Amino acid sequence: MQKLVIASNNAGKLREFQTLLAPLGIEIVTQAQLGISEAEEPHLTFVENALAKARHVSLACGLPALADDSGICVHALNSAPGVFSARYTGLPSSDERNNLGLLQAMQAHTDRRAYFYCSLVLIRHAGDPTPLIAEGAWHGEIAHQASGDGGFGYDPLFYLPELGKSSAQLDHDQKHAISHRGQAMRVLLEKLKVRQAHEG
C-alpha cells in the first residue's frame, strides 16, 4: 500500500491522521484533494458509517481508503449526541454551536460522565470483504464550561478528572497517547502489521 485516501474533510481529524500515520511512510491524500464528495452517513452505529465513508471514497478513486466515524456519547443523554455529534445542532456543522447545545442539554443533569468513541475502517478496495476495523473509547466528563483552545469538536468540554484538564488543554502528543482516535489507530496499525506479515 503506497497511497492511502483519508475519507474525511475534517481539518482537525486530518491533522491527527497525518501525525498518527507518519511512521508508515505511506503517501496520504484526502478526498477533497481528489475532488470526492462527502459520503452519506445514514447509519446508527459508528462502524457502519465508517464503512460507508471508506467504500464511497475507494469506489470513487480506486485507492485504499481509511475512514473514521467518531463522536461523543453522554450517559445522561442516552448516549447522545453519538453518531450525530458533528451535526448535533444542525447543518452546516458548527463546533461552537454544538458545544453550546450540549451545555444546554446538560443543565438538568448531575451525571456528567461521557466518552469519546472512534471507529476506524481501512479497506484495500471498495469491495474489500475483510476490512480492518479498530475502535477506541476515551472516558471523561462533560465540564460545566469550555476550557482550552486546542483540539476541535467537543474537546473544550471533555474534562479528564485524572489530569485536571480538558482535552483542549492537552498538547498533541499527550492527546494522541490517550485519545479514542489514538487508541483505535494503534489497534489498526497492529492489525495491518499482522496482515502484511501473512500476505508477505
Strands (DSSP E) found in 40-131: 65-74, 113-123
Amino acid 200: pLDDT? 65
User: What pLDDT is recorded for position 95?
Assistant: 95
pLDDT at residue 90 in the model: 95
Task: Kindly give the residue spans of alpha helices, DSSP state H, lying in the chain.
Answer: 11-21, 46-61, 95-105, 172-178, 180-199
Q: Which CATH code is given to the segment(s) 3-199?
A: 3.90.950.10
DSSP SS3 for 167? helix
Q: What is the set of active-site residues?
A: 69
Instruction: Give residue 49's pLDDT.
Output: 97
Position 166 scores a pLDDT of 98
Block means of pLDDT (10 residues each) for the chain, 200 residues, are 86 80 85 91 96 96 95 98 96 95 97 98 96 98 96 96 97 92 93 86
**What is the spatial order of strands in the sheet that 158-160 belongs to?**
27-30, 3-6, 65-74, 113-123, 132-142, 158-160, 165-166
Residue 68: what pLDDT? Answer: 93
> Where do the domains of the chain lie?
3-199
Paired with 28 in beta bridges are 4
Identify the pLDDT of residue 25: 83
- Confidence (pLDDT) at 73: 98
pLDDT computed for residue 26 by the predictor: 84
Total residue count of the chain as it appears in this document: 200
